[in-house]
């Protein structure tokens, strides 16, 4: 059965800063993702706080929000069959040290906080996150 999905991907400041935007996009395309929309932006800390609200009780929340708003990011809507899980697989584990060969975080991640990419973790959150960045 066909199950075309969309998910939200972010190339985080550490990767944009190292000019990895094109290499990371190439990995998405080579893995069958279509980039439906994309924009390079810098967000306010308050916007990062809204985006990462599920983590508001975590000890890393403040640093995470400061980091995501610290420089330009590339936000993209990706489309593919089972895109949400497929993107999580391609990204690899949250901590690049645990990420498998062939994943974006294994290849480019620096540390658990500077792990180069974000990807929605469920179809429901993908809709919320896509709307957050592309509601216009």
Which residues are annotated as catalytic?
118
Site for ligand CDP in 38-97 (CB under 6 A): 55, 60, 64, 94
Choose the contact partner of 60 out of ligand CDP, Mg ion, none; CB within 5 to 8 A by kind: ligand CDP
Taking residue 29's Cβ as centre, other Cβ atoms within 10 Å add up to: 12
Residues 86, 47 contacting (CB under 8 angstroms):
no
Handedness of CA 71, 55, 129, 23 (dihedral sign): positive
- Complex with Mg ion: residue 26 or 66, whichever CB lies closer: 66
Q: How far is the CB of 80 from Mg ion (least distance, A)?
A: 19
Q: Which of 7, 87, 115, 116 binds ligand CDP (CB under 6 A)?
A: 115
**CB-wise, 101 or 136, nearer to ligand CDP?**
101
71 close to 120: Cβ distance less than 8 angstroms: no
């Amino acid at each position: 059965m066909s199950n075309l999905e969309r998910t939200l991907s972010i190339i985080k400041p550490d990767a944009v800063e190292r000019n990895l935007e094109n290499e990371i996009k190439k990995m998405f395309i080579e893995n069958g993702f279509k980039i439906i929309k994309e924009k390079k932006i810098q967000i306010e800390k308050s916007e990062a706080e809204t985006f990462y609200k599920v983590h508001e009780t975590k000890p890393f929340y403040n640093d995470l929000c400061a980091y995501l708003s610290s420089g330009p990011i590339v936000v993209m809507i990706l489309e593919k069959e089972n895109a949400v899980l497929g993107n999580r697989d391609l990204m690899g584990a949250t901590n690049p040290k645990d990420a498998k060969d062939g994943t974006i975080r294994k290849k480019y991640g620096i540390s658990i906080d500077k792990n180069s990419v974000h990807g929605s973790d469920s179809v429901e959150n993908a809709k919320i996150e896509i709307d957050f960045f592309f509601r216009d």
